[in-house]
């Protein structure tokens, strides 16, 4: 199965019943598969007039209680930024798939990249936090899409599946489980103010059409949902809660794989560069090469770095100029060496081996 | 109908300036809504950004106050996901015709079952009186200090050409006609577009020779001209005044529609 198809199949298995989007390479297969399959499940597929409208329709659909998603790539992702901020501020669960391609601008539509890792975290204006996952196999395109929906509903936040063109267009055999357990959106208890957070800092969801009579606005709002834009303390409290509900749960959200935890030379990856590292480990079993592979990239789980107590160096191959390497560097005194590669080709195992040699 | 039924009294006073026409349009819309007998829990108001778009925040139903220009795209998602809901959109001339222009024509083309009420004050009111796509040629605003040089959009002709099932224009003076038009919009399956010209004494009127609120309402009354009359004048080869405000139902048809409750 192709990665993009696996993503769509994962969404369907997760109970996603609404897709709103706009065609863009290299993500179109996700939309095409949803267009073919959603009507048969009683769901809705709608091709909107642009990506701004695509994410807007997804947010609207989510308020009716549906699991809803969109899929895009760089230029479309840039267009979605304002409404992503709206989803954050209104605490709207939704899933955005970004099959990353070479940027900036139109860049390389058919080539792989990981250049949007900061954009998904910081691209909309204001302070906020989101959750981003990164699959490095077709199997994970399926699994992590399902996980994205659960996280979105649990934390009421936009969740990003930050794949890259290589994973999106790769074909591999995958295993599909007979059934998929689902984390339900917590409904708002009757008599509770619509934006009053529970202990986990997440308010219950007042689904449209259920008689809650809730006003949802992108303006700074109080717990009733009413606009309140001139109180410094209310704004600060709201923004801090929106950030804290994600960041304080980061070790619970963390999802990663560790290979050779006693290693001194450790690769840190997410997405397709993990494949090259796996090849290096496979080809050199006696070298005890360490590998930390993130399946969840944001919120950044810094404690995962402690899994390698003997690490003398973290080598970070990425298809960008060192975006996550910079984040890793903030959390450790171990030297972090960025191994950037642009243009769409994977790091070769030889390149990675050469990078290792200096640290032996 | 009592206003306590539909308005959030705990949100009053509202933000509208003294003499603003938006309240009249909200009134007409709620009256039409009450006549439809729609339940609060199955009615959703959606809006974008601007003075008009603050209206849903004063109404007791579920409501979504979205980003600038995108109300129709959000509303499309709600209506397609749950066609059992009645979705009403409040918008303004800047929100709908400038930043949201593309969503407007595509919502008309899809003929999606929404009722859109546009409060056209011919200016950006919220940001302090900048020119909009419906600011008349020659009119003064903070960004057209020498008079607007751009021709204005005719929103009703646009909606008609793009495929809406019902299109009508009235003003804040014509409350009965406006209420009836919104009611017809609610009854019509498919996309209904009702444009209501409203006075904006704070940011339009005082810069454009309407020193008092009533001056602009009087202008709506004296310059309004029914569509039927315009057609007759055209047939007779007689001139139509440049400053005429063409009023009436531009389109009422039954084109294939999307998102209609089954």
Residue B206: band (very low, low, confident or very high) from pLDDT cuts 50, 70, 90: very high
Residue with tokens 């009359």: B229
Q: B80–A61: do the CB atoms touch at under 8 Å? A: yes
Q: Tell whether B76 lies on the interface with A, counting CB pairs under 8 A.
A: yes
> What is the third-level CATH fold of A258-357?
Rossmann fold (3.40.50)
Sequence-ordered alpha helix ranges (H) in A284-348? 323-329
Please answer whether residues A91 and A202 qualify as being in contact, where contact means their C-beta atoms are separated by less than 8 angstroms.
Answer: yes
Rounded alpha-carbon distances, angstroms, from residue A338 to A27, A91, A277, A342: 27, 35, 14, 13
pLDDT at B1: 73
Which B positions 88-117 lie with beta carbon below 8 A of chain A? 102-103, 106
Task: Measure CB to CB from residue B80 to each of A44, A63, A211 and give the nearest one.
Answer: A44
Mean pLDDT over residues A293-297, rounded? 98
pLDDT tens across A138-177, in order? 999 999 999 999 999 999 999 999 999 999 999 999 999 9
- Confirm if B79 and B259 have CB atoms less than 8 A apart: yes
Q: Which site among A17, A49, A51 would you substitute to test the B interface, given the most B Cβ atoms closer than 10 Å to its Cβ?
A: A49
Note whether ipTM > 0.95 here.
yes
Cα distances (Å, whole numbers) of residue A225 to A99, A219, A236, A238, B68:
34, 9, 16, 11, 19
- Smallest CA–CA distance, residue A122 to chain B, in Å, is 18
Section B18-26 average pLDDT:
97
B103/A60 Cβ within 8 A: no
Counting residues of chain A whose pLDDT is more than 70, the rounded percentage is 100
- Residues B115-133: what's their mean pLDDT? 98
Which chain A residues contact residue B64 at CB under 8 A? 60, 63, 90, 208, 216-217
Q: Which tens digits make up the pLDDT trace of A278-289?
A: 999 999 999 999
CA A39 to chain centre: 26
3-class SS of residue B176: helix
A window 22-61, beta carbon within 8 A of B: 44, 46, 48-50, 52-54, 56-61
Both tokens of B80, joined, read 């397609």
The reported pLDDT for the residue numbered B261 is 83
CA separation for the pair B185, B194 (Å, rounded)? 7
The residue ranges of every structural domain in chain A are 3-169, 258-357
Q: What value does the mean pLDDT of chain A take?
A: 98
Would you tell me which CATH number, out of the four given (3.90.1150.10, 3.30.830.10, 3.30.1180.20, 3.40.50.970), belongs to the domain A3-169? 3.40.50.970
Task: Please tell me if residue A359 touches chain B, with a CB cutoff of 8 Å.
Answer: no
* Cα angle A253, A258, A262; round to 5: 135
For residue range A299-342, list pLDDT tens digits in order: 999 999 999 999 999 999 999 999 999 999 999 999 999 999 99
Q: How far is CA B227 from CA A98, B143, B167, B234, in A?
A: 49, 32, 12, 10
**CA nearest to A214 within chain B:** B62
Residue B78 with chain A: CB contacts under 8 Å: 60-61, 63-64, 208
% of residues, chain A, pLDDT over 90? 99
Q: Please tell me the predicted confidence (pLDDT) of residue B145.
A: 98
Average pLDDT of the segment spanning A45-60: 98
pLDDT of residue B3: 78
Is A208 touching B (CB cutoff 8 A)? yes
Q: What is the mean pLDDT of residues B12-32?
A: 96
Residue B262 has pLDDT above 90, yes or no: no
Give A359's pLDDT tier (boundaries 50, 70, 90).
Answer: confident
- Kindly indicate the confidence band of residue A256, based on its pLDDT and cuts at 50, 70 and 90: very high
Q: Are A60 and B76 inside 8 Å of each other by CB?
A: yes
List the domains of chain B with CATH numbers: 23-208+217-226 (3.40.50.970)
Flag whether pLDDT at B2 surpasses 80: no
What stretch of H or E contains B23?
Answer: helix B22-36
Q: Which residue of A has its CA nearest to B15?
A: A227
Of B11, B67, B82, the CB nearest to A82: B67
Residue A208 pLDDT exceeds 90: yes
Q: Do domains A3-169 and A258-357 have the same CATH topology?
A: yes
A187 pLDDT higher than 80: yes
Q: Please tell me if residue B78 touches chain A, with a CB cutoff of 8 Å.
A: yes
Please report the residues numbered 72 through 101 in chain A whose beta carbons come closer than 8 angstroms to any beta carbon of chain B: 82-83, 86, 90
User: What pLDDT is attached to residue A252?
Assistant: 97
């Amino acid at each position: 199965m192709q990665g993009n198809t696996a993503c769509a199949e994962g969404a369907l298995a997760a109970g996603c019943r609404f897709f709103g989007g706009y065609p863009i390479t290299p993500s179109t297969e996700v939309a095409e598969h949803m267009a073919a399959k959603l009507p048969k499940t009683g769901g809705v597929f709608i091709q909107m007039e642009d990506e701004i409208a695509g994410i807007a329709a997804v947010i609207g659909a989510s308020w009716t209680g549906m699991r809803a998603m969109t899929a895009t790539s760089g230029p479309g992702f840039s267009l979605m930024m304002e409404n992503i901020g709206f989803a954050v501020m209104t605490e709207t669960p939704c899933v955005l798939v970004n099959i990353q391609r070479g940027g900036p601008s139109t860049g390389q539509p058919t080539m792989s990249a990981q250049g949007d890792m900061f954009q998904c975290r910081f691209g909309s204006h204001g302070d906020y936090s989101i959750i981003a996952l990164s699959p490095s196999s077709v199997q994970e395109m399926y699994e992590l899409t399902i996980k994205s929906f659960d996280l979105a509903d649990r934390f009421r936040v936009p969740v990003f599946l930050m794949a890259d063109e290589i994973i999106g267009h790769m074909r591999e055999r995958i295993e599909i489980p007979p059934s998929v357990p689902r984390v339900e959106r917590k409904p708002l208890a009757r008599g509770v103010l619509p934006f009053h957070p529970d202990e986990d800092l997440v308010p219950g969801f007042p689904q449209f059409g259920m008689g809650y009579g809730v006003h949802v606005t992108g303006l700074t709002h109080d717990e009733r949902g009413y606009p309140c834009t001139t109180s410094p303390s209310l704004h600060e409290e709201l923004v801090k809660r929106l950030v804290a509900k994600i960041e304080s749960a980061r070790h619970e959200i963390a999802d990663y794989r560790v290979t050779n935890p006693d290693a001194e030379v450790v690769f840190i990856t997410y997405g397709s560069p993990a494949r090259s590292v796996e090849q290096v480990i496979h080809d050199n079993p006696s070298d005890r090469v360490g590998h930390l592979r993130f399946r969840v990239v944001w919120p950044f789980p810094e404690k995962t770095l402690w899994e390698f107590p003997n690490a003398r160096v973290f080598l970070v191959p990425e298809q960008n100029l060192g975006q996550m390497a910079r984040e890793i560097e903030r959390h450790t005194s171990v030297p972090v060496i960025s191994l950037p590669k642009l243009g769409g080709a994977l790091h070769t195992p030889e390149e990675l081996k050469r990078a290792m040699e200096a640290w032996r | 109908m009592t206003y306590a039924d539909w308005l959030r009294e705990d949100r009053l006073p509202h933000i509208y300036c003294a003499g603003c026409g938006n309240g009249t349009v909200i009134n007409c819309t709620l009256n039409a809504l009450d006549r439809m007998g729609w339940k609060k829990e199955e009615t959703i108001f959606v809006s974008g950004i601007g003075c008009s778009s603050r209206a849903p925040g004063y109404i007791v139903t579920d409501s979504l106050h979205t980003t600038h220009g995108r109300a129709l795209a959000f509303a499309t998602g709600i209506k397609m996901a749950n066609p059992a809901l009645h979705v009403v959109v409040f918008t303004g001339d800047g929100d709908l015709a400038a930043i949201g222009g593309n969503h407007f024509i595509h919502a008309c083309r899809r003929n999606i079952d929404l009722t859109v009420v546009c409060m056209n004050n011919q200016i950006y009111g919220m940001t302090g009186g900048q020119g909009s796509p419906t600011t008349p040629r020659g009119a003064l605003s903070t960004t057209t200090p020498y008079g607007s040089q751009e021709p204005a959009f005719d929103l009703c002709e646009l909606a008609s050409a793009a495929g809406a099932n019902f299109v009508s224009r009235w003003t804040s003076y014509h409350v009965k006609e406006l209420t009836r038009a919104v009611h017809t919009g609610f009854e019509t399956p498919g996309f209904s577009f009702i444009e209501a010209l409203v006075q904006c004494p704070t940011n339009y009127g005082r810069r454009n020779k309407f020193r008092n609120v009533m001056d602009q309402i009087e202008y709506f009354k004296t310059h309004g001209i029914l569509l039927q009359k315009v057609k007759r004048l055209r047939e007779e080869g007689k001139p139509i005044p440049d400053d005429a405000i063409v009023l009436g139902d531009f389109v009422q048809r039954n084109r294939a529609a999307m998102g209609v409750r089954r």
